[in-house]
Structures are given as structure tokens and as C-alpha cells.
Amino acid sequence: MKAQAGSGLLTIAEKEFFDHIRSKKFLLIFGIFLVIAIVGMIGGITDYNKNLDTYNGHRSVATSSAMPGFFADKPSILSVFGTVATYLVYLGGILGIAMGFDLITKEKESKSLKILLSHPVYRDEVINGKALGGIFALGCALGVVLIISLATLLIYGIIPDTNEMLLIAVFGAVSFLLIFSYFAIALFMSTVSQDSGSALIYTIIIFIALSVLVPTIAQDTVMDTVIGSQPALPQELLDQMQVSVNSTTTMGVFAVKASNAIGGDKDSAGSGAWQKFNQQMQAYWEKRQAVHDSLALFSPSMNYDTVVSGVTATSTGDVINSPGMSAVSFSVSGKQVTDTGDIVGKIAGNVVALLLFPAIFFGLAYVRFMRLDVR
């Protein structure tokens, strides 16, 4: 009698889900992950409160003194999750690998795969059911971590607003994609390997290459070797700056150099040199960013770091103007105020890249399993 369509899929997914959440390796890694996430949240909250106190102190001084107005960056609650993300890059990857490296090989080793496929169940239901079971278990684990993280914020009296909750949801989604990426890689290795030990070794090698080796290549020292050092400030401009320091006040230097940097002072002696230097710097950083973005295509960890940086490094800019002073603005940190839509737009490319990794490796695992010779 032929099984109803989809019944085998759900049965396998349910079995795999409960097998995962009951397994010692899952509970051990998840327990460590949970403890470190809580510790990271507490540390992040402590830093957030210190930065908030500093911000309030600067705001109080600026509004009560004769200083010109300036932009002050209020720390964002999202910065708290940056600490959690530091640990999640590695522990999340390890959790995904631990849940996926033996999904198929353990069936081969126990000779149960042949028995399973002899039942009225399709091959695609087997591979899809195993993947769904793992996905549900990963989602539950990450969901518990996020709920406890939010509870920790509330315990400390920190209440996110609507935009911050949306960004926290984005953080949770990309964190899941990161873990799922390494789960999919492990699943693929489980389909091509003859035993669980080989699958684990191959997956760990790929994990180290993608999460350590590729980001290392993108670091400053290696990047400088690949594309060269950034342009040095010409001696002509160094001499000009020295003359300016000796002949003007500090605020005057800021004003003159800021004007020259954007080409505002067309008649100044060094405006042409400043413009040329700025063009060289812009070309250098564009080339550097292009190389970085190309490398990021091969590393889920790099894409994840970029997304998390865009989400957790947000800040609320406040313009503080002292009474009776001119509306001169001075940016303390150089950050610009952005809303949720701007942030999501800037990280969209990295999110797509994160989606491609699990899609490609799960697709390869699916094709390999469908053609697997079971004897």
C-alpha cells in the first residue's frame, strides 16, 4: 500500500527532530552556547550602560556650556548583541556541524539506510525529512537563546523599541542562516563520505577555511600585501599642514582642512594636491572593498560579520546646539543617522550571499543522495 504523499517526510522530520534534541552532543553544545550567550549579554549590557552614561555626561556638558553644537551618538541597544555574535560565529558553526555530519553516514554504518529505503518512502522524503528535522532543532535552539537574551535585557530595565525589535529579528534570522550554512555543508559531506569520521574531518577543514583562513586573507596585513599600502600623504601637504598649525588656531585648522578635503576652497594653494590625494584614497578604498566583497562570497562568517556590524553598530544621532552659538556641527564619531530601511538595504547583498551557501550545499547533498548507490 502506497504511503500518502508527504506522510513519510513529516514522520522522518519528527523523528530526526526528537533525536537531535535528546542527543547528548546537542544538549552539551547547546548548553555551552546558552551559557556563553548569557555571559556575553551581561557583558554587552554593562558596556552599553557605561557608554550611555558617557553619552549623557557629554550631552549635559554640551547643553550647559558655551561649546558649539555637535552631533553626539547615542549608543544603540543592538550593540549588546554584537558580543553574542562574536561567540555565535564559532559555536553556532560547531552546533550546525555536530548536527549534520552524521545524518547519512550513521545510516550507512548501521546498514539501516537500505532498510529505510525499502519502506514505502521516497528518497527525497528521506533527505528532506532529515534536513527539516535538523532545521527545526536549530531554530528551537537559536529561538531559546534569543528569548533568554531579550529576557536579560528586560531584567536590566532595557526595553527595545519597534525598530530595534525589527533589527533584533534580522540579527536572529542571519544568525540562523549562518548556523544552517554549516549544517548544510556537514550534511553534504555526510552524503559523500563513507563514514562519520571522514565526514567530520572534511567538514571541519572546510569550516576552518571559510571561518578562519578567508577572513585572515581579508585582514589588513594580508590585504596590504595583495593590493599594496594606502597612499601616503605627499610631503607638499605635510609641509602645508605644518605651516597651518604654526599660523592658525586648532579650530581654524579643522575648518581649513575640512574645506580643502571636499574641494570647498578652490583658491587655496594646496587645494589641487588635496583633491588628487583624496581621489587616490578613494580609489584605494574602493579597490580594497571590492577585494573584500569578493572574498566574502566564499565565507559565511565574513558575510555574517558584515551584517551584524551593520545591525549592531547603529546609533541615534542627536544634534546638541548651545544657546546663542552658531549652528556649527562637529561629528564626534563620524557615524550618520540611519533608519531600519537604510540598514536592511545596505546588508541585503550579504544576506543573499548567506542564503546561497545553504541552498547550494543542500542542493548538492540532495542530488548526491538521490544518486546514492545503497547496497
- How many Cα atoms occupy the beta-carbon half-sphere of 59 within 13 Å? 13
pLDDT score, position 266: 44
Cα 78 from Cα 274, distance rounded (Å): 37
- CA-based Rg of the chain, rounded to a whole angstrom? 27
pLDDT tens-digit profile, the chain (375 residues): 344 555 778 888 898 899 888 888 888 888 888 888 888 888 888 888 888 888 777 777 656 554 444 445 677 788 888 878 888 888 888 989 999 998 888 888 887 777 777 777 788 888 899 999 999 999 999 999 899 988 988 888 888 888 888 888 888 999 999 999 999 999 999 999 988 999 999 999 999 998 888 888 777 666 677 777 777 776 666 666 666 555 544 444 444 444 444 444 444 545 677 787 788 788 888 787 777 777 777 888 888 888 888 887 654 444 333 333 333 333 333 344 456 677 777 788 888 888 988 999 999 999 998 888 766
Q: Give, to the nearest 10 degrees, the angle between helix 123-155 and helix 340-370.
A: 150
Instruction: At 2, list the grid cell.
Output: 502506497
pLDDT score, position 1: 39
Instruction: At 295, list the grid cell.
Output: 572574498
For residue 211, count other CB atoms closer than 10 A to its CB: 21
Cα 102 from Cα 106, distance rounded (Å): 5
pLDDT score, position 215: 83
72 phi and psi angles, rounded to 5 deg: -115, 135
105 touches 199 (CB < 8 A): yes
Q: Which of 128, 159, 141, 132 is nearest to 45 (CA)?
A: 159
pLDDT score, position 205: 94
Q: Is 119 exposed, middle or buried (0-12, 13-18, 19+ CB in 10 A)?
A: exposed
Q: How is residue 212 annotated by DSSP? A: I
| pTM (predicted TM-score) | 0.75
Q: How many residues can be counted in the chain?
A: 375
Instruction: At 230, list the grid cell.
Output: 594606502
187 touches 365 (CB < 8 A): yes
Pairing of strands 70-75, 315-320: antiparallel
Q: How many helices, marked H, and strands, marked E, lie in the chain?
A: 15, 2
| Side chain identity, residue 296 | A
| Side chain identity, residue 153 | L
The ranges assigned to domains in the chain are 7-239+267-370
Question: Which residues have a Cβ under 8 Å from the Cβ of 71 and sit 6 or more positions away?
Answer: 317, 318, 319, 320, 329, 330, 331, 332
